[in-house]
Amino acid sequence: MIMKITVIVTIISILATCNNKKELNESIDKMHKNYTKLEYKNDSLYLSYVVKEFIRNDYEDYHSVYMYGKNNYEKVNIYVNDIFYSPCKTKLIAFIILEVPNSFIDNKKSLEDPTKKYSYYGLVLLAIRDNENDNWTAYCLPVIRVANYASYETVSYKLRNFFINELKEQKGHDFNCNLNEPCFWTDTNSIWRKGDVIPGYYNFQINTNKYYYERDKDKKDLKDFLVPVLDINYPQLSTSEQSDEKASNEQE
């Protein structure tokens, strides 16, 4: 009897997970309507290059996974899992998944499956620009840590589920909206609200730990607390790639 109940509970759990994934995918599909394939491909190139530079430069040490690849960054595979754009295309959120060789990681006990060749890590980037024709400036958004998983799919699901179903429920933050809600891209959401800490700047542009600990020391200039922006060239698709993508978009 106990075994039958256990089996039934397991089946119900699997069905619930499948339904949740289906709902997530449906929500995300509705959000993928305001960009072209060319834009997405070009921005994916840029974001993957940004992450590689973050790793290579140990940028701000926002995420411990950067450290695993600091001296071996060319062996870390970087995947742009998804990109979401604001209606005016001056803001974006991107889910990045890193495929890191387990041989880089000393603490094998932290891994979901140390027998695998790779483990997967989820990062979140955001980027801003003044208008649709400008290049992006990217920043880290350390609101969720997804690390040490044995499959790409698990990390992808956890990132999507967090932003679609859990973001606005986070205590201690004023997010107020999930990614699939129109208010996400407004200053109702503290991610996109300027002036909470330093007038004229978003929270993600500020090293808040440094600000709160050092703001009264030596009368520091407020700009000393801004997150440095790496000087990263924006990669461009070749002329032939642009032509192919343009033709593809026109056929749809």
Taking residues 182-208, report their average pLDDT. 92
Give residue 43's Cα distance to chain centre: 13
Mean pLDDT of 223-244: 67
pLDDT score of 35 more than 50: yes
Lowest mean pLDDT among 10-14, 179-183, 218-222: 10-14
Q: Which of 7-21, 40-54, 216-230 has the lowest mean pLDDT?
A: 7-21
Among 12-16, 26-30, 51-55, 235-239, whose mean pLDDT is lowest?
12-16
- Cβ neighbors of 251 (< 8 A, separation 6 or more) are none
**Residue 163 · residue 93 · CB < 8 Å:** yes
For the chain, the C-alpha Rg in angstroms (whole number) is 20
Supply the angle between the helices 2-31 and 152-161 in degrees, to the nearest 10: 70
pLDDT tens column, 148-160: 899 999 999 999 9
**What tens digit of pLDDT does each residue of 76-93 get?**
899 999 999 999 999 999
Residue with tokens 């701000």: 60
Q: What is the mean pLDDT of residues 203-211?
A: 84
Single pTM value for the model = 0.80
| Nearest of 95, 48, 94, 96 to residue 74 by alpha carbon | 48
Residue 54 exposure: Cα atoms within 13 Å on the Cβ side:
29
Conformation bin of residue 26: beta by default, left when phi > 0, alpha when psi is -120 to 50: alpha
